[in-house]
A and B are shown apart, each in its own frame.
Chain A
Amino acid sequence: MSEKKPFTTADMLCILTALALLSLSFRPAHVENGLTYGFYTGLFTAAICLVPFLLRRMGFMTLPLTFVMVLETALFLHGYGVLSGSYDRYVWYDFMTHVISSMAVCLCVFYALIAVSQNDKRTMMGKDGVLLFTMLIMTAFGIYWETAEFVLDMLTGSHMQYGPFDTIADMVSNVIGAAIIGIYARHFIAHHSGYDIVEGFEMSGRLARFISQERD
């Protein structure tokens, strides 16, 4: 644990994105005009930007650079969209951030499934199995998300779902993001073995044991 870790491109990306969002959040226009939603969104996304950096520094795991790049882009675009008003100004902005966010989630699912496939002795998904599960999980994720929004709106009177078109647009963007990552993943696993991918995660022993645990 005391081993000093070198500063990587991914670390730098996390810190720069967080700093950019913080500087946008603390613009006088936001602070003075009491735009609290934008301000707190900026702070929150900046904090999440640092998660890959912290996970690595704490020796928990190293997230792949591709994933970090997509995650940081998604977080920055969301934070920037709220802080700059781009969500309200541009019709396509919401769709774009949804696609990139679903790409980040899809990559996360993809890497997690490879880790499970490598570590769980009773499960061997193979390359096609990992892709199939990734696509199905993304589809299910979209349904669960929209259902949760619908139920919350019904129970609390909140305004999470705008209308049917918005719901379906979210689901379509989810599928597009998953398809883009599916193509990337297909290419990626054709050139890398599952063992090499999981080794690159540098998972802590505790996390590796959690994944490989026999529970059936």
Chain B
Amino acid sequence: MTGALVALSLAIAMLSIAPSGILAPETSWMQEWMWFIVSISGLFIVAYPNNKPDGFYFRKPILVMALIPVALQAVLAFYAMAEGWDWNMRNVSVALMAWASVSYGYMLAISIDSFTETKLSNRWMLVFSLLFCMAIVSLQMFSQFVFMVSEGYPIFDGDLFLSVEKRLEVNAVLGTNATVAVIVSILTSAVLRKITCGKDQVLRGGAEDE
């Protein structure tokens, strides 16, 4: 399971930084760079505990939670190679990114709990996973803003003061992805809460689990 997750993350990381000309012409660099960051972070987060002397493997429920969005993103990325990205696909991609980020954030919290002086209850691990996801979302918002500037969107208050429709439309370009990510992150952490009661039994396994 860990191997599959590592392989898929690598595949997505590669797809993310492939020059846009190789993929569909409409593909912009913005979304893919965010997935690149998430994939590479995920690789380290998943692999790190295995390589510690007193390390452990993450158990199946947690790995599956991370594997599903990464696998779906891989399918989406291949589909985009043929069709190009559209607005709805972008939102789906961000939703998957939020799902993966919460899962990776939870794994990171387990590692922090195991390898540092910081000790976290399950409730705080869930909070950490949400916060980790929000840190990714903030990066995504900044990259979206840079994209809007580069595309020539009206971004200043003065440009948008007279037209309510235009203001809402431009704000939607920046805010929709973040809103989708916030909703999905809350749902994902609720699911994680369900499957992680009694954390030591569910989350960490020894080498024999692999």
Binding site for B on A (CB under 8 A): 120, 122-126, 128-129, 132-133, 136-137, 139-140, 142-144, 146-147, 150-151, 153-154, 157, 159, 161-168, 171, 215-216
Contacts and interface: CB of A to CB of B under 8 A. Distances in A.
Contacts of A167: 141, 145, 171, 174-175
A163 B116 contact: no
Contacts of A123: 119-121, 124
Interface in B150-175: 153-157, 159-161, 164, 167-168, 170-175
B128 A161 contact: no
Interface residues of B, number: 43
B121 A166 contact: no
A142 to B, nearest CB: 7
Given A126-B118, A168-B141, A162 B182 contact: no
B117 A126 contact: yes
Given A129-B112, A163-B160, 18 more contacts: A122-B121, A124-B118, A128-B118, A136-B128, A136-B134, A144-B182, A147-B175, A147-B182, A154-B172, A161-B167, A163-B156, A163-B157, A164-B174, A165-B156, A166-B157, A167-B171, A167-B175, A171-B141
Nearest to B132: A136
Contacts of A139: 131, 134-135, 138
Contact of B131 (A136, A151, A159, A162): A136
Given A143-B141, A164-B153, A167-B174, A133 B131 contact: yes
Interface of B: 112, 116-124, 128, 130-132, 134-135, 137-138, 141-142, 145, 148, 153-157, 159-161, 164, 167-168, 170-175, 178-179, 182, 197
Contacts of A143: 134, 137-138, 141, 178, 182
Given A128-B116, A143-B178, A151-B179, A165 B131 contact: no
A157 B171 CA distance: 12
A126 B112 CA distance: 11
A27 B44 CA distance: 61
Nearest to B154: A163
8 contacts: A124-B118, A143-B134, A143-B137, A150-B171, A153-B168, A163-B155, A164-B148, A167-B171
Contacts of B170: 163-164
Contacts of B167: 159, 161-163
Nearest to A140: B134
A26 B120 CA distance: 50
A74 B34 CA distance: 35
Given A133-B131, A215-B123, A150 B117 contact: no
A137 B124 CA distance: 12
Nearest to B158: A163
Interface pairs A-B: 7 shortest CB-CB: A150-B175, A129-B118, A140-B134, A136-B131, A122-B121, A162-B157, A124-B119
A135 B50 CA distance: 28
Contacts of B155: 163-165
B182 A129 contact: no
